[in-house]
Amino acid sequence: ETGVTQTPRHLVMGMTNKKSLKCEQHLGHNAMYWYKQSAKKPLELMFVYNFKEQTENNSVPSRFSPECPNSSHLFLHLHTLQPEDSALYLCASSQKLGSGRGETQYFGPGTRLLVL
């Protein structure tokens, strides 16, 4: 496989469920990102990891919990979500942070999440 993959592609969950989103990149990158894309709103950066270390958490509610076990994998653990959390969740990767070269971010296909 090449590029950035995300599973599942679609997810429906109740507010009391616990689920996890998975992202895997096959580009040899060291930085990974979670974004949230809601209808009619700009992309919102949620979390950033660089060499497995979290470098950014954009005031994301604790019901979203990221995990980065290695530079190729990124998870987003979900629990007790709200209906307003329904959105497209996009994962991205780039070479690394702090290179001073404005590294291109490559995106996965996203997970469409519906919270009932």
Partner 1 sequence: AQKVTQAQTEISVVEKEDVTLDCVYETRDTTYYLFWYKQPPSGELVFLIRRNSFDEQNEISGRYSWNFQKSTSSFNFTITASQVVDSAVYFCALSEVSNTGNQFYFGTGTSLTVIP
Binding residues vs partner 1 (CB under 8 A): 31, 41-43, 45, 48, 50, 55-56, 88, 90, 92, 94, 97-110, 112
Question: CB of residue 80 vs partner 1: minimum separation in angstroms?
Answer: 25
Question: CB of residue 39 vs partner 1: minimum separation in angstroms?
Answer: 11
Question: CB of residue 62 vs partner 1: minimum separation in angstroms?
Answer: 22
28 versus 100: smaller Cβ distance to partner 1: 100
Q: Do residues 60 and 48 make contact, with C-beta atoms less than 8 angstroms apart?
A: no
d(CA 27, CA 95): 8
Instruction: Compute the 3-state secondary structure of the chain and give helix, strand, coil in percent, each to the nearest 5.
Output: 5, 55, 40
Q: Do residues 4 and 74 make contact, with C-beta atoms less than 8 angstroms apart?
A: no
The radius of gyration computed from the CA coordinates of the chain, to the nearest angstrom, equals: 14
9 versus 77: smaller Cβ distance to partner 1: 9
7 versus 18: smaller Cβ distance to partner 1: 7
